[in-house]
Amino acid sequence: MSIGVWNIRGLNKVVKQKEVIDVIRDNNLGICAVVESHVKILNLKNVCSKTFGNWDWISNSRSCEVGTRIIVGWDPKLFDIMVISQSKQVIHCYVKFIGSDYSMFLSFIYAASRYIERRALWEDLKKFSLTVKKEAWCILGDFNVALKESDYSEGCSKILKGVDEFSECINFIEVEDLNSTGFQFTWNKSPVGNKGILKKLDRIMANMKFMSDHPLAHSAFKPYRISDHCPAVLIIPNCKMRWKSSFRFANFIADKDEFLPMVKDIWSTNIDGFFMFKLTQKLKVMKKYCRQLCNKFRGSEMKIKELRKELGNIQMKIDQEPFNATYREENANILFEYNVACNGEEKLLS
């Protein structure tokens, strides 16, 4: 299971949208947050439908003065996401893994460039940590501030403003960087001559509960592509999902003797409520029995092979004893079963 976040530096252009789609596909993402999107509210639906397709999505557009700062898209087949709170710099979510009992908190960050404005983010994270308590929690995104000297490509002779506040915040909320692979410096300033600067501004951090739940979880920082920030990917190995296949009505079960009595019994069941509620509940009940009936007659391919073999054997006996009535009757019975099985397989496949 993989969750990603990328500072794309504007999502309005088609080329940027295609890049995000490629990152989602290449890294098999189930959740993807795009920060610094610059998408206006009027264009938000159109841009997100092109970028995320059939995925669900949310944004913090109502917290932004100009353009949207954070957009989060997710595959509804894999996750159920509820927004707990949002601000200009963060979206806090409660995420349930569909097909599993596991759930956790996720916070997607796009911190302000000025350290004074970032103070509101640090206070927000501290307050939200009281909501999280001892549940699993991951924080990922662009923090817009480096944490230590090794986060600079050229080192740094002095502590920049805002670093102490960031450090104090992560100590308070008790999170730390996950083990990572890929790029060490996640942001590059467009070089002028030989004066280019590289920094680690994008991070994936987690609390002890998440680390104990997923000891092999790690982050991967991918190539910048057309942005100046690396896509950051949270990889959760061994997160097995129990897939439940979608229901499909197999036409051939309607020809079975058990089908109509089953429908009659279920439809005669008394269910309290409005008519539409009664209808949907009866359909849900019937779905279970349709699955059972379909599974009972599934595997017709193997049955067809067996019947074909029996048919060949009995026809060989008829060839040897042309006037044996018993063989001819047996041949007729097997041939009938064979035709029924073939028709059933054809309807199942179609």
| Final residue in a domain of this structure, among 235, 260, 289 | 235
Span of 169-178, 259-268, 289-298 with lowest mean pLDDT: 289-298
- The answer on 191 and 334 residing in a single domain is no
- The answer on 74 and 39 residing in a single domain is yes
- The answer on 274 and 216 residing in a single domain is no
Rounded CA Rg of the chain: 30
Q: Tell me what pLDDT residue 245 has.
A: 62
Angle of the 325-349 helix axis to the 300-320 helix axis, nearest 10: 160
Q: Does residue 242 form part of some domain?
A: no
Could you tell me how far CA 163 lies from the centroid of its own chain? 34
- The answer on 230 and 275 residing in a single domain is no
- The answer on 130 and 7 residing in a single domain is yes
Q: Tell me what pLDDT residue 190 has.
A: 64
* CA-to-CA dists, residue 14 to 39, 47, 115, 229, angstroms: 12, 9, 32, 18
**What number is the average pLDDT over the span 133-140?**
94
> Parallel, antiparallel, or unpaired: how do β-strands 180-182 and 197-199 relate?
unpaired
Q: 144 with 111: CB under 8 angstroms? A: yes
Q: How crowded is residue 307: how many other Cβ atoms within 10 Å of its Cβ?
A: 20
What residues contact 346, with CB distance under 8 A and at least 6 apart?
Answer: none
| Final residue in a domain of this structure, among 210, 235, 260 | 235
Tell which wins on pLDDT, 224 or 273. Answer: 224
Q: What are phi and psi of 257, to 5 degrees?
A: -65, -30
- Closest residue by Cα to residue 234 from 218, 210, 211, 256: 218
What's the domain count of the chain?
Answer: 2
Tell which wins on pLDDT, 248 or 20. Answer: 20
Q: Does residue 81 form part of some domain?
A: yes
10 vs 51: CA distance, rounded Å: 13
Span of 14-23, 294-303, 330-339 with lowest mean pLDDT: 294-303
- The answer on 172 and 299 residing in a single domain is no
- The SS3 call for residue 133 is coil
Q: What are phi and psi of 10, to 5 degrees?
A: 105, 120
Q: 178 with 170: CB under 8 angstroms? A: no
- Closest residue by Cα to residue 118 from 140, 93, 145, 141: 145
In this predicted structure, the answer to whether residue 192 has a pLDDT above a threshold of 60 is no
Q: Could you identify the residue written with the tokens 């009664």? A: 278
User: pTM for this structure?
Assistant: 0.68
Q: Tell me what pLDDT residue 299 has.
A: 59
**Average pLDDT of the chain, as a whole number:** 88
Domain span at 71? 2-235
